[in-house]
Structure formats: structure tokens, C-alpha cells
Structure 1
Amino acid sequence: MHAVLFDMDGVIVDTMDLHFESSQRVLAEHGVRMPISELRKLGSKRSKDGFKELLPEKGDSEIDRMVKKKYAYLFAKAKGIKPIKGFLDFFFLVAGKHPIAVVSSSNRAFVEDILLQLGIFKDFGVVICGDDVRKGKPDPEGYLKAAKKLNVNPKDCVVIEDSVYGVMSARSAGMKVIAVTNTHDRNFLLDADLVVDSLAEITVEMLEGIFKSGTK
């Protein structure tokens, strides 16, 4: 049995810049002025990991308050959001044919809200979020947990990612990876098995070929 595991931000919905803008606002309230270009370097890390990296002097309780405020901004920005062009083409290609999961660095409340807005929450057998793991991406914990819950061997999973840390996470889990250039140029994603500009480019034959291939 083969499974398909999706990242959410930057794969299902175009929310990466919304994350960066919300983080930027919270950081500014704490005296840290940082351009979006610098925040992009944090990639798909969990918010609390990114804030802790930028503000190591802050205690856990204050970091948690910053994360809560960031998500308050983010929820407001993401109301009425639509799926990234090309996502639904691929989603309908695999849904019902393979076990599918979401593995996101975002908090569960936000992930579930987005999937419910899109009307696809119930289609996913497993949803693993940033607050479900001890270590976020690039650690493989989230992807390994999803595979275990789906009862699928990690080597039989294909991950759909858009970030460098996401690709690293999937690779460390021993999974195959398709990277989509929604967030980063393809030059940053070359460790994936396949890099596409849109998920609509992927055919059944291409997906089956990746399932049958060995990992890099």
C-alpha cells in the first residue's frame, strides 16, 4: 500500500506569506524589525521554534503568547482562502485511491480551519500538526507519526512539499518527495525526487513511477 502525505502551507493553500506577515507584526511588537526576506529563511519551522531562534532570551510562556497572537492575526488573514491552483487536480487524482494525510508545522486549530474551509477535512485519514510533535521540521517526527497512524511503511510514502526544511524532513523519514515551487525556486528543492511548478503537472504514471523508485 502506498500513501501520499501533504504539507499544507504553500502546498494546499498559499499561506506562507500570511505566516511571515503575521510573524513580522508580532516581532515588531517586541522590538524586532525583520523583513519578509529574512523570515523566509525560517522556512516551514513551527512558529514557536522560529520565535525562539530569533529571541532566545524569551521564556517558553512568552513565546507561547507570541504564537497565540500570531495565529490571531493569521486566522483573520486566511478567511475565505482558496486552494492553490493545481492542488485540487492532484488531490482528486489520489483521494480515494491512496491513504492520504496532512503533516503541517501549523497549529491544529489553524490546519483544521483551513481544511474545513476547503471542504476536504474529512478526506484525510490522518492530520498531524505542529502541536502534535516534540520536534518540528526539518525533524522527521511528523512524517513518521503520520505513516505509523496510516499503517504504511515510510518507504511507501510520497510527500508533497514546498520548502527546504520540509524536503529535509521527508528525506530524513526515508520517504520519497515531490516538491512544488510555490514558495521556493526549484534550485532550493533539488533534493526532491521530482520538482514541479504545479501539482496539476503530475500524472498517474509519474506518481506510480515515483512509488516504484528507490529514495535518493
Structure 2
Amino acid sequence: MLLELPEGPFAAYLFDCDGTIVDSMPLHYVAWKKALGEWNVNFEEKLFYAWGGMPVVEIIRSLNEMHGVNMPVEELHHRKEGLYYEMLGDLKAVPEVLEHVHATHGKIPFAVVSGSTRESVVKSLEILGILDKFDTLVCAGEYVNGKPDPEPFLLAAEKLGVDPKLCLVFEDTEMGIQSATAAGMKSVKVMQPWERITA
């Protein structure tokens, strides 16, 4: 079933990656639980989804502050990513978003705008065999201010040479929707795993 899109026309589609193109959020959460469990730090699932779109290093810094601990940011970042990569064989696409990718590819340019690292995004898209569908990637570490700031989406529009007002954003998190709105872009909300109706 295709997602209902706001009225266009649109000159580019900008997609978040995790939870939007790839149904990776449950796998990311398992990786977080394992990595943080080694430090006896709890990460509530509700908070994990609320922070969707936040770069990994920011999540670790925020958890350090919240729990009054001092987990090494880079070390934990690599540990968590490594655990996620081990599970990539289980990765699947979000069907309704994948339909839009296939239906519109070649008609307008696509970008991925993610709070994950470029390595993580590339691996996820390669597993699904759709990396070549995207004209540009904007990933963690390539912008100063992450979502909900508009910078990541504005950077993607600039790379594609498209007016931000003519971009449509596909996002699964409130933080991402806020970022798109702040960038002057229309957006379509992709439902979280538990919100999707299974046949």
C-alpha cells in the first residue's frame, strides 16, 4: 500500500534511512541494549524512538548526562555499530516506502538524510540492493546541527540543486518531521513498526 503524499509537484524526494527506508530501528535497539548493557546503563525503548534521528555520539553524550556516567563516546559508538552490523542479514525494507522509491526512481532525484554514519547507511542500502537509487547521501558528521535543526535537509537540497520548498521528506520520527518543517519542506510520516497494520 502506497503512502498518501501531500499535494505536489515535488522536484526531489529526501528520505530518512533508519525506520523510513529500512526497517532497522528494532535491530538498532537490540544493538544499543547489548552495548549499553555492558555498562549497566538502561535505554528505555520509548526514549530510543523519541530520539530517532539523533546522531549516535549525541545519544551517548545524552545518556552519560542522564545517568551520571562517563561511557567513552567513540569506543561505545564503534561497539554499538559493530553489534548492528552483525545483524544486518535480518534487515528488511519498509515496504510502502520502497514502493515509492521504485515507482519514482529516475523521474526526480533522491537523497538520504540520516543521523546514522555514512558507513551504516551505505551498508543498509547495499543489503537491500538500492544504494544506486540515491543521488546523494547526507549523514552524521557531515553537518553541524542534527535534526530537529533544518540543516541536514537544507544541505541535501543544496547538493541536489533543488529549491527546499520543492522537496518532499519521508520521515518516521517527530524530530525528523520538525527538521523538514523548519527547512520549509512538506513531509510524509512513515509509521513506526508497532503502528503498521500487519495482514
TM range (shorter): 0.7 to 0.9
Q: How far apart, CA to CA, are the structure 2 residues paired with 1:34 and 1:49? A: 14
Decide whether the 8 Å contact of 2:169 with 2:185 is kept in 1: yes
- Note the alpha carbon deviations across 1:106-143, whole angstroms, 9 max, x for none: 11111001111222112211111112122221111111
Please state if 1:123 is matched with 2:133: yes
Task: Specify which of 26, 33, 38 is matched with residue 42 of structure 2.
Answer: 33
Read off the aligned partner of 1:5 and give its amino acid letter.
L
2:89 partner SS: coil
- Which residue number corresponds to residue 3 of structure 1? 12
- 2:80 pairs with one of 66, 70, 74: 70
TM-score by structure 2 length? 0.85
Higher RCO (CA 8 Å, separation ≥ 6 residues): 2
How many residues get paired?
A: 186
Aligned with residue 171 of structure 1, among 161, 174, 181 = 181
Aligned-residue offset at 1:42 = 1.8
In the alignment, is residue 136 of structure 1 matched against residue 146 of structure 2? yes
1:147 counterpart residue number = 157
Which of structure 1's runs of 4+ aligned residues deviate more than 3 A? none
Tell me how far apart the structure 2 counterparts of residues 151 and 35 of structure 1 sit (CA, whole Å): 40
Indicate yes or no: 2:120 matched with 1:110: yes
Gaps of 5+ in 1: 186-196, 199-216
Alpha carbons of structure 1 residues 39 and 123: separation in structure 2 relative to 1, 3 Å: closer
Deviation by residue 1:138-187 (Cα, 9 ceiling, x = unmatched): 111111110000000100100000111110111111111011113475xx
CA distance in 1, matches of 2:124, 2:141: 16
Say what the alpha-carbon RMSD is for the aligned residues.
Answer: 2.0
- Listed as ranges, the gaps of 5+ residues in structure 2 are 1-9
Q: Is the 8 A contact 2:149 2:179 kept in 1?
A: yes
* Equivalent runs, 1:37-76 vs 2, <5 Å: 37-56=46-65, 62-76=72-86
State the distance in 2 between where 1:109 and 1:31 align. 27
Q: How high is the TM-score relative to the length of structure 1? A: 0.79
State how 1:19-30 maps to structure 2 within 5 Å. 19-30=28-39
| Equivalent residues of 2:14, 2:111 under 8 A apart | yes
Structure 1: which amino acid aligns with 2:75? R
Change (3 A) 1:80 1:22: closer
Question: What CA deviation, in whole Å up to 9, does each residue of 1:27-75 have, x standing for no partner?
Answer: 222221233233223222111111111103667x921111111000001
**Partner of 2:3 in structure 1?**
none
SS at 1:86 equivalent: helix
Q: Return closer, same or farther for 1:184/1:169 CA change in 2, 3 Å cut-off.
A: farther
C-alpha distance 173-150 of structure 1, shift in aligned 2 (>3 A): same
